[in-house]
Amino acid sequence: MGKRKLVVEDLYALQSVTNPVLSPCGGEVVFVRTHIDEDQNDYVSNLFHVDVLSNEVTQWTFGKGRVSSPQWSADGTKIAFLSNRDEKNQVYVLSTKGGEARALTSFEKGVSSYLWSPCGKKVWVNGSVKEGKAFTDKEEKDEKKFAVPYRVTKMKYQMDAVGLLPQDIFKQIGVVDIETGEVTQFTEGNHQYTLQAVSHDGTKIIMSVNKSENQDYEFGQPMVIVDVETKEETVLVDEEGNFGGATFSKDDRYIAYVGANRTFQNTTHTDVVVYDTTDGTRMNLTESIDAPVGDYAIADLQQGVSAPAVVWTKDNHLYFQLSTMGDVRLYFATLDGAVYPASPENEHIYGYDISIDGTFAIVAVSNAISPGELFKLEITTGERSAITSFNQTYVEEVELIEPEAIVFQGAKEWDVHGWLIKPAGYVAGEKYPLVLNIHGGPAMMYGNSFVHEMQLLAAEGYGVLYINPRGSHGYSQQFVDAVRGDYGGADYEDIMASIDFVTSENEWIDTDRLGVTGGSYGGFMTNWIVGHTNRFKAAVTQRSISNWISFFGVSDIGYFFNDWQHGANMTDVDALWAISPLKYAENIETPLLILHGEKDFRCPIEQAEQLYITLRSMGKETEFVRFPGADHNLSREGAPNLRIARLDEITGWFKKYL
């Protein structure tokens, strides 16, 4: 019996396996498995345990909410994790011998992150506190719940997936006693503190805080090392840029962290830097690698992924993720400058942990036809053995199409990489429509990872083309920076060159039935494309940008993003209008479906409204679908029923016009 074709409802069948964490002795692993509960229309995640030797997998929690951030105590007798089973995220502690997990915190506004104290008797917590209040204070409830005005005095007053930011709430750091539950607040003042690390001897913590009075143009937080007893601070890093992920070496001598300065604004490559506490020197371990540290791959399955920035072994070796050529690989580094890959090509390592002796890793791995599982990777030999098999039956029963990697010449004769998927049931000699799918960012990348949306389009009978045009991460600093100041220029040329290349190389592509879609930057580019060519017979634009002038004032990032990416602001509206797709609306003849979330603060829905009304007023073929309550992450983390509806809209539009 042949395999069945993938369907949109398969989102409910797929399971996300993430966040593996090794026990101190290295013999056990805990991880998080997430699935969609169709009845409650929500994501449910629970904690699982596996014995490394026997591969016996056991479910440890059974709640209907979400769990995240599992951590072992230093002696391996307890597990802590965050859970929203009581609405707000709180810290829970579970004995490894069994029994029920108990809530350690019950903070009014929950806990954003936490870290074990090495003694195992305390937990450091990071959470929001109202000005003048403590973690444990309860707010007085307004039973009438009347709406009140919201006064805006800052430019940073809203955020996608959050909404309006409370003006009198500040993130503080505290310590909770495991036995008594007593909470001691460690930081104070009207500042936003972020807990980064705790030293192995328990005498120091690392935290981030920016105490500048005006935060509107502050885009990073200096990191400081703090003596727990005296609260004396030593600056770890204080320069313009984004730095974090700090962690102490096993002997506490070194501190590794990741970050990027502002040389190329938000397209600057992230590096791994090591600070020596004995003499204050620092080493950039990845300076010679022309690719960014971290995971920049776009996927739509893995939920709640939180991989460590850097992991130390006892020999002061380091491991980290690197996004390169469409892969996210595990890399190894030594303090004397040796850096090399520790995992194969053609896959996406989206989670990992390393044994303390550095002999093996536990890795969460996906590729184009594998949704993702946990594996044990022997570092020295490269041998790999499967630990989980949650998606095995699905992969065995469903036809998943292996993409073909392509390389072609884009603008300025630069090489551009991408992938082409043939339609399910492909028969040589037949003609098929093709859909071009453009990623967002633009400083992200498509990669060798499972994307349900791509496989769905193939299952619906379309060829699928997805590429990494200039502006994408994973190639070089020059490549990712090349889009700045040139939106709709060479990036557009790259994308159109991809169509030229695949249609010349693949006779099965029906050049009269080409479709295009994309979200965020990909939505901008979809709008731009249909305003500049009639080559495509149908288009779907998602969470898009149509007008950079209004974007400046309505997006949560608009006032600085325009400066960073276009070198223009409201003193030069002509420059912003010249690269706004709305300017070219009169040229659009391609039937255009507009999809947008109503709670999108990144690319607010007014961008879609302007485009739709303009096109309709001109008598163009267009429709507009609004998704209530959905933010910018609808396609990846939105309400499951809305994700299904979105995919139905996309496939329905292409079915109608292609």
Please give the positions annotated as active site.
Answer: 520, 632
Separation CA 651–CA 439 (nearest Å) = 17
- Range 199-220 burial, b when 16+ CB lie within 10 A, else e: beebebbbbbbeeeeeeeeebb
Give 516's contacts (C-beta < 8 A, 6+ positions apart).
435, 436, 437, 438, 526, 529, 530, 536, 538, 539, 540
β-bridge partners, 624: 594
Question: Which single residue is written with the structure tokens 């991460």?
Answer: 473
Give the chain's radius of gyration (CA, Å). 25
> What is the DSSP secondary structure assignment for residue 300, as one 8-state letter?
S
Separation CA 363–CA 343 (nearest Å) = 10
Is residue 66 within 8 Å of residue 83, measured between CB atoms?
Answer: yes
CA distances to 40, 363, 468, 473, 559 from 445, rounded to whole Å, are 32, 21, 6, 5, 24
Separation CA 296–CA 301 (nearest Å) = 15
Separation CA 551–CA 558 (nearest Å) = 6
Separation CA 160–CA 471 (nearest Å) = 22
CA distances to 296, 518, 592 from 649, rounded to whole Å, are 27, 13, 12
Separation CA 331–CA 340 (nearest Å) = 6
Tokens coding 85: 């089973």
Is residue 272 within 8 Å of residue 333, measured between CB atoms?
Answer: yes
Nearest to 560 by CA among 242, 315, 183, 147: 242
Q: Tally Cβ neighbours within 10 Å of residue 153.
A: 6
Question: Which single residue is written with the structure tokens 């028969």?
Answer: 427
Tokens coding 106: 């019950």
Separation CA 144–CA 45 (nearest Å) = 35
Nearest to 551 by CA among 604, 592, 502: 604
- Range 126-137 burial, b when 16+ CB lie within 10 A, else e: bbbbeeebebbe
Separation CA 102–CA 95 (nearest Å) = 9
Separation CA 321–CA 365 (nearest Å) = 12
Question: Which single residue is written with the structure tokens 């495509």?
Answer: 536
Separation CA 370–CA 219 (nearest Å) = 37
What CA dihedral angle connects 360, 366, 368 and 371, to 10 degrees?
A: 140
Q: Is 169 exposed, middle or buried (0-12, 13-18, 19+ CB in 10 A)?
A: middle
Separation CA 168–CA 129 (nearest Å) = 9
